[in-house]
Amino acid sequence: MRSKLFVPGVRPELFAKALAGDADALSFDLEDSVPEARKGEARESVSALLQSAPLLATAKIVVVRVNAVDTVHLAADLAAVARTGVDLINLPKVESAQDVLAAVALLEKAEAANGVAQPIGLLANIETPRGLRLAAEIASAHPRVAGLQLGLADLFQPLGIDRRDPANVHAALYAMRMAAAEAGVFAWDAAFADIGDADGFRAEAGMARRLGYVGKSCIHPSQVALANQAFQPDAEEIAAARRIVAAAREAGHGAFLVDGRMIDLPFLKRAEAILASADANTGAS
């Protein structure tokens, strides 16, 4: 899940191109990119796509960002997009466990109506100060919560916090990553609005990867390759991880030396995760 490309639900002419692109995940958006007057139109377009042969055949992770719990749109959104083939519902502006439970109740109803046999997971957006403070509680609210996603523009802009200050970004990334770790779910990085600043995107993606994020959101196809590169383990990392896993098998006990370093269970788990990520992304690179 190195890269997740947002695709406006009101732009169906972009759907086929997104499906044919290199993003590991696609997030079809019914929220911020859709004007209020066109919410129904976007909902219908995405619903039709989700029931199409190309979508059902894709190996990509399929995400739909719906509207928030406190809007009039959520029930209709879920009724339209809770479909077989959807992996995650991205719930924006989550501020409490109660928000999660309210969304789950509506999602269960929509799944039953649409004949969905495999429960759809939730990706909860952390975009407000309260949401960040309660992020671990949000992530633990229901087994359907698979991950947390940071929304830095909504979190920073109303408070006058500089979005481009690396210290500010690191503080928010770290706080949400710890909350995700406490709950045992993954963390997905925020979008980067300056499409022309490839170096800035790379720097922020690198920071997120060093903090243990699984991937970064992309708002333009040009950012997908940057995210894939940033979150793809390089040859040196993979080789080191293989040495650790091999040494663990040979040692048969809790701590052992690899390349002059003492290795124990946390290092082994990280090595196994690197190899799993490399294997998963081999066909997507």
Condensed to tens digits (0 to 9), the pLDDT of residues 83-114 reads 999 999 999 999 999 999 999 999 999 999 99
The pLDDT, as a whole number, for residue 272 is 79
Q: How many CA atoms lie within 13 A of 179 on its CB side?
A: 28
Which three-class secondary structure state does DSSP give residue 213?
coil
The whole-angstrom separation of Cα 241 and Cα 248 is: 11
129-171 pLDDT, tens digit per residue, is 999 999 999 999 999 999 999 999 999 999 999 999 999 999 9
pLDDT at 285 over 50: no
101: its two tokens: 């439970």
- For each of the domains in the chain, give its residue range(s) and CATH number, in order of start: 3-231 (3.20.20.60), 235-281 (no CATH)
CB 116 within 8 A of CB 84: yes
The pLDDT, as a whole number, for residue 243 is 86
CB 281 within 8 A of CB 232: yes
208: its two tokens: 């997120």
CB 29 within 8 A of CB 63: no
33-78 pLDDT, tens digit per residue, is 999 999 999 999 999 999 999 999 999 999 999 999 999 999 999 9
The whole-angstrom separation of Cα 29 and Cα 249 is: 45
User: What amino acid is encoded at 204 in this protein?
Assistant: E
State pTM to two decimals.
0.86
Over residues 8-31, mean pLDDT: 96
pLDDT at 232 over 60: yes
Out of 37-41, 44-48, 208-212, 242-246, least confident range: 242-246
Strands 261-263 and 256-258: antiparallel
What is the percent of the chain with per-residue pLDDT over 70, rounded to a whole number? 95
CA distances from 25 to 4, 21, 132, 262 (A): 4, 10, 24, 37
